[in-house]
Amino acid sequence: MRAVIQRVNYASVHIEDKIFSQISKGLLVLVGIEHHDTDQDCQWMAHKIANLRIFPDEQGKMNLSVKNVHGQVLVVSQFTLHASTKKGFRPSYTHAAKPDIAIPLYNKFVTYLEKELDKKVPTGQFGAYMRISLENDGPVTIIIDTKNKE
């Protein structure tokens, strides 16, 4: 499981020119699921993201988590995070999980994140064509992969 986490002032998902979901201050999480991912990957990733200390404290030092600042989290599925560009110029997505594996794990990840944050987590729509709008804060962008736990 791979995630790109962006600290944002706001973010929104548009589907068919309508706002599907949106947040104010918090994290936009783009998440890609591999065919080898497990329930444990979902739990680990949710715990890690909820507790990442990437928000500034009173001295401006990144020392607070999204939980500490009472921020929101918006989760969007993105299979292209598992693109392989080794050969040629057209990315291969063979490592990305097929929907029958990815959808249940994606939903578990969101559920675990909701438990970690003790609040509802807005999402995109799995498999839909989405437009994402956001304002980066910092900018702060972190990439986490459960396979190498970083």
Candidate list 80, 85, 94, 141, residue with the active-site label: 80
Which long-range CB contacts under 8 A does 95-101 form with residues at least 24 apart?
95/34, 95/35, 96/32, 96/33, 96/34, 96/35, 97/33, 97/34, 97/35, 97/37, 98/35, 99/126, 99/127, 101/33, 101/35, 101/37
**Residues 146/35, Cβ–Cβ less than 8 Å:** no
Q: What angle do CA 140, 145, 147 make, to 5 degrees?
A: 165
> Is 85 in the active site?
no
- 3-class secondary structure, 98: coil
- Phi/psi at 45 (nearest 5 deg)? -65, -45
Catalytic annotation, residues: 80
